[in-house]
Amino acid sequence: MIEPIACSFAAAVIALAISIATTPLVRRIAMAARAVDYPGWRKHQASAVPRMGGVAAVAGLFSGAGIMMAARWGDWSAGIRPAEGLAISLAFLIIFMCGLLEDTIGLSPCCRFLMQLAAALLVVSVGWSFATINLPFQENLKLGILSEVVSVIWIIGVTNAINLIDGLDGLAGGVVAIISTSLLVFSFWNKDYIAVLIMAALVGACFGFLRKNWAPAQIYLGDTGSLTLGFVLGVVSLRSSMKAEAAIAILVPILALGLPVMDTLLVMLFRFTRRSSGPWLHRCARMFQADRSHMHHIMVRLGSKRSHIVIGIYIIAAAFCGMALIAAMTKNYAVGMGLLAVEMGVVITIRQIGLHAERIWPLTRALTDADKNINI
């Protein structure tokens, strides 16, 4: 019991140190390579900021987890087969290269999707997939061939959900650290010490990177970071579900990742239904087009201070992760479904309040300006 805790703590410290040490170097490389985000329609910063910061976070993650895993491989090698290790490592490399190429030379949406699909297929090819799913009136429904399909959709969905919430200084890194902490606890509860080690290193890497990513950010995660960290969360949450009780296997990762996943799904639905006219194919394509309809975009347009928005989203994410752990500890499917309904209600309510306030904001501001003119 003590050894996994000590190894995980060491992995987190190594990841933290490597992330802190490499961030300035990565920043200089990004500037030299012109991998820079400029102020624009979807960019909130006042000046140009280098991206590619995810290289430092990923370096910390794999240094921390890799060093400690190699040091104790003789004891923990039974937890993962060589074929699994090779396939998962190759999948991570594909996603990392996808993000790095996007940050430096740019990729077409089709190429991005194909690289993510290849990585996800590698993961499920070695047996990492959701085997069963519970429905309200049908327990332990075996997915059969749909197991791999659902798992691929989950991995790609989580990967892009983290990528899409990376819209404010410190937001994605902090949310990933919070979710990783909950998955760390859940994995420790299930005695999945390899997942514990990876999540501990991910927490350390995120905290190390946040030193330069907190507002005002000096460097961004970029797609290199957000895609890779999202992929790690998707894969580890999938592995964690394989180790959990059947009744809560799929619920815990959904609850823990509820905020980014649900917000992304609601945004896609909003894009699909925003203008009902037009061919179905065009409306489906619109679901994947970038816009400013995510929760944090709405809150920014209302004039809220960005650091306060980020802290507020941290609190919501932490609450959702707490719900995931409650479902895990109680091992009660009904409790898990109830908490999932609460999460959905919270996300929908926040979005509706934000959209309503956004609609009345111009009128309120106009009335305020009119009052000022009268006073003058």
Cα–Cα distance, 240 to 207 (Å, whole number): 23
Residues 115, 97: contact at Cβ < 8 Å? yes
Q: Under 8 Å CB-to-CB from 151, ≥6 apart: which residues?
A: 120, 123, 124, 128, 129, 130, 238
What's this model's pTM, rounded to 2 decimal places? 0.84
**Cβ(46)–Cβ(237) below 8 Å:** no
Query: How far is it, in rounded angstroms, from Cα 170 to Cα 35?
Result: 19
The answer to whether the CB of 11 falls within 8 A of the CB of 68 is yes
pLDDT of residue 297: 64
Angle of CA points 230, 232, 234, to nearest 5°: 70
Provide the residue count of the chain.
376
Q: Any idea which residue has 């309120």 for tokens?
A: 364
pLDDT tens sequence across 151-195: 899 999 899 889 888 878 888 899 999 999 999 998 888 888 888
Q: What is the pLDDT at residue 166?
A: 82
Other beta carbons within 10 angstroms of residue 297's beta carbon come to 18
**Confidence band, pLDDT 50/70/90 cuts, at residue 363:** very low
Write out the two tokens for 93.
């490399």
In the chain, what are the domain boundaries?
2-258+267-291
Q: How confident is the model at residue 64 (pLDDT cuts 50, 70, 90)?
A: very high
Strand partners, 368: none
Phi, psi of 92 (to 5 degrees): -60, -40
Two tokens, residue 62? 């794999």
Percent of the chain with pLDDT over 70: 75
pLDDT tens digits, 6-50: 899 999 999 999 999 999 999 999 998 888 887 755 555 567 789
The confidence score (pLDDT) of residue 259 equals: 80
Q: How many whole angstroms separate alpha carbon 71 and alpha carbon 133?
A: 36
For the stretch 314-350, pLDDT in tens is 998 899 888 888 888 887 777 888 888 888 888 888 7
53, two tokens? 């910061």
Q: pLDDT at position 365, please?
A: 45
Helix (H) / strand (E) element for 138: namely: strand 138-142
- Average pLDDT over every residue of 214-234: 92
For the CA atoms of the chain, what is the radius of gyration? 21
Contact criterion met (CB below 8 Å) for 205 and 180: no
CA–CA distance, 60 with 2 (Å, rounded to integer): 23
Average pLDDT value over all residues in the chain: 81
Determine how many CB atoms are found less than 10 A away from the CB of residue 218: 15
Q: Write out the two tokens for 253.
A: 């990762």
What is the DSSP track for 267-329? HHHHHHHSS--S-HHHHHHHTTS--S-SHHHHHHHTT--HHHHHHHHHHHHHHHHHHHHHHHH
Q: What does the pLDDT read at residue 165? A: 84
Q: How far, in Å, CA of 56 to CA of 209, rounded? A: 7
pLDDT band at 366 (very low <50, low <70, confident <90, very high): very low
Q: 246: which residues sit within 8 A by CB, 6+ positions away?
A: 132, 134, 139, 140
